[in-house]
Amino acid sequence: MANDKHVAMLKKGVAAWNAWRDKNPDIRPDLRRANRGKANLSGADLSGAKLTEAKLRKGNFSRANLSATDLPGRTCPWQN
Protein backbone atom coordinates (compact mmCIF):
# COMPACT_ATOMS: atom_id res chain seq x y z
CA MET A 1 0.00 0.00 0.00
CA ALA A 2 1.25 3.49 -0.85
CA ASN A 3 2.61 5.82 1.78
CA ASP A 4 -0.10 8.49 2.17
CA LYS A 5 2.49 11.21 2.78
CA HIS A 6 4.31 10.35 -0.44
CA VAL A 7 1.08 10.38 -2.46
CA ALA A 8 0.06 13.71 -0.91
CA MET A 9 3.43 15.21 -1.83
CA LEU A 10 3.13 13.98 -5.41
CA LYS A 11 -0.32 15.56 -5.67
CA LYS A 12 1.25 18.96 -4.89
CA GLY A 13 2.85 18.92 -8.33
CA VAL A 14 6.15 18.16 -9.96
CA ALA A 15 8.04 21.21 -8.63
CA ALA A 16 7.08 20.45 -5.02
CA TRP A 17 7.75 16.73 -5.52
CA ASN A 18 11.20 17.29 -7.01
CA ALA A 19 12.12 19.77 -4.26
CA TRP A 20 11.04 17.20 -1.65
CA ARG A 21 13.11 14.51 -3.41
CA ASP A 22 16.15 16.83 -3.42
CA LYS A 23 15.79 17.40 0.34
CA ASN A 24 15.17 13.69 1.07
CA PRO A 25 17.50 11.70 -1.21
CA ASP A 26 17.51 8.66 1.09
CA ILE A 27 13.74 8.15 0.98
CA ARG A 28 12.51 5.58 -1.51
CA PRO A 29 9.02 6.79 -2.47
CA ASP A 30 6.31 4.23 -1.89
CA LEU A 31 3.55 4.73 -4.42
CA ARG A 32 2.37 1.13 -4.60
CA ARG A 33 -1.27 0.90 -5.66
CA ALA A 34 -1.54 4.70 -5.80
CA ASN A 35 -4.08 6.04 -8.27
CA ARG A 36 -2.32 8.72 -10.32
CA GLY A 37 -4.01 8.07 -13.65
CA LYS A 38 -4.05 11.05 -16.00
CA ALA A 39 -1.56 12.89 -13.76
CA ASN A 40 0.90 15.30 -15.33
CA LEU A 41 4.22 14.00 -14.01
CA SER A 42 6.35 15.43 -16.78
CA GLY A 43 9.86 15.92 -15.41
CA ALA A 44 9.10 14.25 -12.07
CA ASP A 45 11.95 12.48 -10.29
CA LEU A 46 10.40 9.09 -9.66
CA SER A 47 13.75 7.31 -9.53
CA GLY A 48 13.75 4.35 -7.19
CA ALA A 49 10.01 4.66 -6.50
CA LYS A 50 7.94 1.63 -5.62
CA LEU A 51 5.25 1.67 -8.29
CA THR A 52 3.96 -1.90 -8.12
CA GLU A 53 0.27 -2.00 -9.08
CA ALA A 54 0.08 1.81 -9.26
CA LYS A 55 -2.65 3.10 -11.55
CA LEU A 56 -0.73 5.33 -13.94
CA ARG A 57 -2.69 5.04 -17.18
CA LYS A 58 -2.86 8.04 -19.45
CA GLY A 59 -0.43 9.98 -17.26
CA ASN A 60 2.18 12.30 -18.76
CA PHE A 61 5.63 10.93 -17.94
CA SER A 62 7.66 12.81 -20.54
CA ARG A 63 11.12 13.66 -19.18
CA ALA A 64 10.27 11.86 -15.90
CA ASN A 65 13.11 9.96 -14.25
CA LEU A 66 11.89 6.38 -13.92
CA SER A 67 15.30 4.80 -13.31
CA ALA A 68 15.37 1.95 -10.79
CA THR A 69 11.60 2.04 -10.27
CA ASP A 70 9.87 -1.07 -9.02
CA LEU A 71 7.63 -2.18 -11.88
CA PRO A 72 7.71 -5.98 -11.69
CA GLY A 73 5.76 -7.78 -14.35
CA ARG A 74 4.85 -4.60 -16.19
CA THR A 75 6.61 -3.08 -19.13
CA CYS A 76 4.70 0.16 -19.60
CA PRO A 77 1.86 0.72 -17.08
CA TRP A 78 1.33 4.32 -18.13
CA GLN A 79 0.29 3.31 -21.66
CA ASN A 80 -3.28 2.55 -22.72
The predicted structure's pLDDT at residue 80: 42
Q: How confident is the model at residue 72 (pLDDT cuts 50, 70, 90)?
A: low
Number of domains the chain contains? 1
pLDDT confidence of residue 11: 95
34 falls within a domain = yes
Q: What is the pLDDT of residue 23?
A: 98
Residue 65 lies in a domain: yes
Q: What is the pLDDT of residue 56?
A: 87
40-60 average pLDDT score: 93
CATH number at 60 reads 2.160.20.80
Output the pLDDT for position 45. 97
Q: Is 67 exposed, middle or buried (0-12, 13-18, 19+ CB in 10 A)?
A: exposed
**Parent domain of 20:** 1-74
The closest of 38, 72, 66 to 52, measured between CA atoms, is 72
